[in-house]
Structure 1
């Protein structure tokens, strides 16, 4: 049986890294951020199901000029573009604990071996523990099964998808009692150890659609509702190249000129307005107009400048780096041009960056983390 981790009150440090090595004790509890905390409930709720399976989609963070405060959820029809977690009541474990029973990755079998089954060193485990603590569960334990649909270090919110699916599954297991912000904060406990204290992946992974993170103290999220008629699609092109978030963040400029700040602020504001108005053209144009982060990160992704140019030449409305990269994301209205844009971007990665790449045409996911299967109590 995998190591279990206590979810209840007394705190201790709990990093969450994709490592296969673990020397931690089997029973340990979780320290939460001093800035934003998941409130521990005293309810000790009874379970509503024996098991719950939840899916959380991929996410595109930053969206160009919205560094660390804008993001959106994207998914394909088959729900393969995201992670899935099954949370099951496990009477063999100490009450109030979490264990990771298995990790699989059907499309990338080697990926599963890179991820720790220590719940305190796995994003799904930390998300599940945080949800249990927020719920106040003390009389039951949970084992989770993680299915990875997203690669690591791709810029598609892989860690956020694991944490979001786990938090959603655990919450639903006990009757879906957590409010929206508590679910996001549970996932954020996982995110902060992997990619920094920012919610532009985890918030849309849980809520779906576009989300603006206004502040952390007080914690304030603003979902951005776009008109139903907006047929926004995303061409996601992922090269065979891993871009660790820590390395990409280290490349950021330490100082920004006032003129750059003004330009990026205006583009981010235009992007928010375009989402609310359903203006795909302005969404794409604003996403392409980051003059602070993209110029420092693009040179670290072989061929990125050529890939962006190829996307625009093929008819994309805009193109930028998804999150920290290396995935490049192009925006189109409707999916008719998706294959052509994707092929041109893949060719640019190959010819200029000397990298193999694959593309996926996805749509805006307006749902976010959701329950896809349940098993009733016996």
Structure 2
């Protein structure tokens, strides 16, 4: 509201959210994005997308730190590359319109606090792993721009810095990843800080079959109950669905 220049109006927001807390799915960013877009719409939609991202950043900072990894794509949709924060510079990566992309999200009944998962990360990174992960990041961008699902999945699955440290902290995660690939997923990794596992595929039906295998792997190898959902890439981002005139 400060960015809109509104100082003397109070608002009360009620949020109905379908994301579990602490799941690695960016639930705090979803809240920040929804609030920013809703308030902007109430007062005439004067803020640009980048300004909305900045508002979301400020809101989420108190909960999970100052980063736009989740809030930028939540507001803008699709794939967003964060080039810099000072100044904030966001690049939209255009995924081909004719290519369908689905995400299989499997969330086990297990708590993986972000603080604990961050503490598991290495304090220093060796040059070979640094070079490798930078190469995978470049390959991921190239795959997104070309609509290469196999390349996208391969890059997604090839982390040598974060996933090797976090996967052992989530019971069954390594088996879940294997199950996803064996079931036909193009790639699989940990979503955010976890414990949700995310796999990529090209159709909803394939996603449902992959999700079933991943749930079974969590149950059999990790001794954890889990649930799976399949969601298509959202190319639009947060938007007004409906409004009620008062």
- Same topology, TM > 0.5: yes
Distance (whole Å) between structure 1 residues aligned to residue 185 and residue 118 of structure 2: 27
Deviation at 1:180, TM superposition (A): 1.5
Aligned to 2:26: 157
Q: TM-score, normalised by structure 1?
A: 0.64
Q: How does 1:140-155 map to 2 (within 5 A)?
A: 140-155=9-24
What's the TM-score once normalised by structure 2's chain length? Answer: 0.98
Q: Deviations over 1:129-153 (max 9, x none)?
A: xxx1110112422111111211100
Which residue matches 1:10?
Answer: none
Q: For the Cα contact (< 8 Å) 1:316–1:331, is it kept in 2?
A: yes
Aligned to 2:81: 212
Give 1:375 deviation, angstroms.
2.4
Q: After superposition, give the CA deviation of every residue in 1:227-277 in whole Å (9 maximum; x if it has no partner).
A: 101111011000001211111111110111101011100100010011011
User: Residues 241 and 326 of structure 1 are in contact (CA less than 8 Å); yes or no, is this contact kept in structure 2?
Assistant: yes
Match of 2:200 in 1: 331
Any residues of structure 2 matched to 1:143-222 within 5 Å, and which? 143-222=12-91
> Shift of residue 373 of structure 1?
1.4
Q: CA-to-partner distance for each residue in 1:295-337, whole Å, 9 max, x for gaps?
A: 0010111100000000000010000000111000000012231
Match of 2:112 in 1: 243
> Are 1:252 and 2:127 counterparts?
no
Q: Secondary structure at the match of 1:135?
A: coil
Which residue number in structure 1 is paired with residue 235 of structure 2?
Answer: 366
- Detail structure 1 runs of 4+ shifted over 3 Å in the superposition: none
RMSD between aligned residues: 1.0
| Higher deviation after alignment, 276-285 or 190-199 | 190-199
1:230 lines up with 2:65 in the alignment: no
Mapped to 2, the partners of 1:193 and 1:203 lie a distance apart of 16
Kindly name which structure, 1 or 2, has the bigger radius of gyration based on alpha carbons: 1
Corresponding position: 1:312 with 2:181:
yes
Distance (Å, rounded) in 2 between the aligned partners of 1:138 and 1:198: 26
- Give the structure with the larger helix fraction: 2
Mapping for residues 48-67 of structure 1, pairs under 5 Å = none
SS state of the match for residue 22, structure 2? coil
Shift of 1:367: 1.0
1:325 is paired with a residue whose SS is: coil
Cα deviation for residue 370 of structure 1 reads 0.5
Quick check: 1:346–1:359 contact (8 Å CA) kept in 2? yes
2:4 corresponds in structure 1 to 135
Gapped regions of structure 2 (runs ≥ 5): none
CA distance in structure 1 between the partners assigned to 2:82 and 2:136 by the alignment: 16
Distance 1:330 1:258 in 2: 28
Counterpart residue number, 1:71: none
1:301 aligns with 2:170: yes
Which stretches in structure 1 are left out of the alignment for 5+ residues?
1-131
Describe how 1:283-298 pairs up with structure 2 within 5 A. Answer: 283-298=152-167
- Conserved 8 A contact 1:152-1:242: no
SS of structure 2 residue aligned to 1:235: strand
Contact kept? 1:212, 1:223, Cα under 8 Å: yes
- CA separation in 2, counterparts of 1:244 and 1:190? 20
- Asked whether the 8 Å contact 1:195–1:246 carries over to 2, the reply is no
